[in-house]
Chains A and B, each alone.
Chain A
Amino acid sequence: MSCIRTLYRFSLILALAFCLLLHADFVSAQKVALLPMSDFSKGENGVNLQLTKAVETSLKQLGVEMVSRNDLMLFMARNKVRSFRFLDSYLVKKIGAEFDSSLVLLGTVTEMDEKTPSIGLTFTALDTVDGAPVWSASEATSVKEQAPILGVGEAKSVVDLARPVLKDILSPLADIAHNASSLESRDYQLVGLSLYPGYVRGSQLVKADLKILFLGKRPTFIAAESEIGKSYLQYDRRTDSYQGEWFAPREDGRYDVDLRFEWGRERTVERLESVASYEVINDAPGLEMEIKKTIKIGQRLAFRNHVLILPRVDNLRPMAGWALSIKDERGQVVAYEEYDTDLPERMIWEGRGGDGFRLDNGVYTVGLEVWDLAGNRSAAEQRIVLQAYPPKVEGKIKNIEGEASLTLHAAGFYEFPLSNWRVELRSMTGALLVKGKGRELPATFDFLPVEGEKWAYLTVDGVDPLGNRLRGKKVKLQVVAGEKKIEKQEAESWVPDF
């Protein structure tokens, strides 16, 4: 009998405890977490703690249980919630879980003026089950809008205005808080999944770094999954992140990466699709280079002032960088520029070296190399002739027994000789000795020198095929007396000596 009685008492206690537990759950579901109210009248980051207290009091009067303000402030500091913009659904759920609250209430003073009392308020309640907004209300008023008959009961301050407004706005919230329920969920805040490099060549290593926060327990395993398979990520306690790596597939294409959470012993799978992606590129960029503003002389391209370098990449892809090099005939690099940016549409080379000075006339090789983010490289080069100044012309006078001759020949570095030239030789007294023109060098002119004058003045003008002009400058030449060459005449036939 006593055994039955004991059993009866035990079951009664158990039932009572169960009821209390249910009741406790019900009560906990009514809690509302009111965050400090933003106050735009005090600036973008303004906070109004006085009004927060007033709202708290109004809610308590409506029978709503509140989460301690100090605890909430600590939570905000711990989770770096500087304003409502930093409060995402994960943190709303976290507040729900940490403080047993069903709603998070965000209040804002949109405007407040003490001079001519006016106030604007707005409230939004967020459900801690899914972090979504479930209720909102706003109200604005001023003493001008509430002019009572004969001024009886006229609001004298903002507090007088706020009191009835708060009561009106907040009254439906009590019911919402009562009906709200709390739910334990496996939730997380995905801060980011970084894949690097984002562009790879086939079979290259791809590394993943996952930053994720979990509301409750962490899943047993987390894997990064794409169409080539899955790769489990390891938790790194030091960085509080998950890390992993795998080899990229050989085929070109974009590969989306899903996150796969495996929970508990049963390894229930939950999948978060297309969190990040990487791209496999195996082909080198199809680079072509065209050089404009050149003159074709024979088989060679030449310029005297500047050239336009027009690169073209056939297959569009994210470029990582490019380099332009200019080499001389010996293969020595005279100019080199490298940039980690996209390829420009056009480039101009003014025939200068890396030091900024004009280069000598000669043959140069313009080389362009581009590489994409996956590291595929492509190059193109072209030889061009630079002739920035015309060939020099040197003259020499020989005077043999009163008969003089002027010989002209090209000198200096040049690739193309003068195509037209004009010569003038004058004596020291100004008498014209030689005047002529021609297309080819060397050339010789005979003239009669002025007796007793050992010097003459030479002036040569000309232009090369690229348009470089040789300006006439007087050059003093010595009239060198030469010896007459005696030409040995060989006998055409043997004459018998008689």
Chain B
Amino acid sequence: MQKKITYFLLLGLCLTLLGCSNHHGLQTRIMAGADTNICSVVLLPFENWTRKQEVALLTERLFTSQLLQTGEFNLVQAGDVGMFFLRQRLRPGSSLFKRHLTDMASQLEVDVVIQGRVVDAGSVRRSGDEKVPFLSLAFNVYDADTGALVLNTVHQRKGDDFRKLMHFGVETTLSGLTEKMSQEIIEDWFNKGITCR
């Protein structure tokens, strides 16, 4: 009997630890010689590779929120980015050339330009009637002064990746999942030395 209890306790511990496992699917590659001292950032409108129209806006807004909550970066207001696009006669979603980035650096006084992309989003059906969202994101961060790539991040998660025990911890909303993934990405950036010094 005691053996069985020990066995179940160990199993529970394993499950708990699995819940706290590392951020699988998250990869950040920092370019050699890139300047990681970043204080001021501009977030471009997210690209949307999915068929869901609102996903890019949702992700962009929640990622912005998480960036602001860190208190580490000065973020340029989205309206100012829109105004910059207007002044440069660029349509939203236009590809930016190096000179656009350098102009952005001087006009908006930013260190880096973050270009986000929603690669995939949706929901998967689990046992019973349970549905969990999934999301796949990619980021390119460019040095605004030189136009060079600073880092590249890809990340993907499902809502039940965060399960701790039973139904606890499962993210059932896309917003919740985006929030968690944004936190993980920003935390990863911090761990890799992206800070304002």
Which stretch of B1-9, B28-36, B55-63, B143-151 is in the interface? B55-63
Question: How far apart sit A274 and B187, CA to CA, in the bound complex (Å)?
Answer: 36
At the interface, yes or no: A108 with Cβ under 8 Å from chain B? yes
Which one of B62, B87, B175 has the highest number of Cβ atoms from chain A below 10 Å of its Cβ?
Answer: B175
At the interface, yes or no: B83 with Cβ under 8 Å from chain A? yes
From DSSP, what is the main secondary structure of chain B's interface residues? helix
Task: Check if B173 sits within 8 Å of A141, measured CB to CB.
Answer: yes
- In the complex, which range does the number of interface residues on chain A fall in? 35 or more
Contacts of A347 in B (CB 8 A): none
At the interface, yes or no: B111 with Cβ under 8 Å from chain A? no
Chain A residues 1 to 58 lying within 8 A of chain B, measured CB to CB, are 40-41, 43-44
Which stretch of A142-150, A409-417, A451-459 is in the interface? A142-150
Question: How far apart sit A147 and B167, CA to CA, in the bound complex (Å)?
Answer: 9
Task: Check if A126 sits within 8 Å of B77, measured CB to CB.
Answer: yes
At the interface, yes or no: A181 with Cβ under 8 Å from chain B? no
- CB 8 Å contact bits of A109-151 with B (1 = contact, 0 = none): 0110000001111111010000111111111111011010000
Chain B residues 162 to 187 lying within 8 A of chain A, measured CB to CB, are 167, 170-176, 178-179
Closest Cβ of chain A to B14, distance in Å, is: 24
Chain A residue with the shortest CB-CB distance to B74: A132
Task: Check if B173 sits within 8 Å of A190, measured CB to CB.
Answer: no
Chain A residues 164 to 181 lying within 8 A of chain B, measured CB to CB, are none
Chain B residue with the shortest CB-CB distance to A111: B175
Task: Check if A108 sits within 8 Å of B61, measured CB to CB.
Answer: yes
At the interface, yes or no: A87 with Cβ under 8 Å from chain B? yes
Which stretch of A88-96, A245-253, A281-289, A399-407 is in the interface? A88-96
Contacts of B171 in A (CB 8 A): 140, 145
At the interface, yes or no: A84 with Cβ under 8 Å from chain B? yes
At the interface, yes or no: A336 with Cβ under 8 Å from chain B? no
Task: Check if A86 sits within 8 Å of B79, measured CB to CB.
Answer: yes
At the interface, yes or no: B27 with Cβ under 8 Å from chain A? no
Check A88/B79 contact, CB under 8 A, given A40-B54, A110-B61, A138-B62: yes
Contacts of B106 in A (CB 8 A): 273-274
Contacts of A137 in B (CB 8 A): 65, 69
Contacts of A124 in B (CB 8 A): 61, 64-65, 68
Check A132/B77 contact, CB under 8 A, given A40-B54, A120-B175: yes
Interface size of B by Cβ–Cβ distance < 8 Å?
Answer: 36
Question: How far apart sit A206 and B53, CA to CA, in the bound complex (Å)?
Answer: 44
Task: Check if B172 sits within 8 Å of A111, measured CB to CB.
Answer: no
Closest Cβ of chain B to A139, distance in Å, is: 8
Question: How far apart sit A133 and B65, CA to CA, in the bound complex (Å)?
Answer: 10
Question: How far apart sit A122 and B66, CA to CA, in the bound complex (Å)?
Answer: 10
Task: Check if B87 sits within 8 Å of A191, measured CB to CB.
Answer: yes
Contacts of A191 in B (CB 8 A): 83, 86-87
Task: Check if A91 sits within 8 Å of B61, measured CB to CB.
Answer: no
Contacts of B38 in A (CB 8 A): none
Question: How far apart sit A88 and B66, CA to CA, in the bound complex (Å)?
Answer: 20
Contacts of B68 in A (CB 8 A): 124, 133-136
At the interface, yes or no: A238 with Cβ under 8 Å from chain B? no
Closest Cβ of chain B to A413, distance in Å, is: 54
Which one of B65, B74, B87 has the highest number of Cβ atoms from chain A below 10 Å of its Cβ?
Answer: B65
Task: Check if B75 sits within 8 Å of A132, measured CB to CB.
Answer: yes
Contacts of A190 in B (CB 8 A): 87
Check A133/B62 contact, CB under 8 A, given A44-B54, A138-B179: no
Question: How far apart sit A92 and B83, CA to CA, in the bound complex (Å)?
Answer: 13
- CB-based closest 4 A-B pairs: A120-B175, A88-B79, A140-B175, A136-B68
Chain A interface residues (CB < 8 Å from chain B):
40-41, 43-44, 84-92, 108, 110-111, 118-124, 126, 131-142, 144-145, 147, 189-192, 273-274
A140-B176, A142-B172 given; name 12 further pairs at CB < 8 Å.
A84-B78, A85-B82, A88-B77, A90-B83, A92-B79, A108-B61, A111-B58, A111-B175, A124-B65, A132-B74, A136-B69, A191-B83
Chain B interface residues (CB < 8 Å from chain A):
45, 53-54, 57-58, 61-62, 64-66, 68-69, 74-80, 82-83, 86-87, 92, 106, 130, 167, 170-176, 178-179
- List, sorted by A's number, 7 A–B pairs whose CB atoms are closer than 8 Å: A88-B80, A88-B83, A108-B61, A131-B80, A136-B64, A136-B65, A136-B66
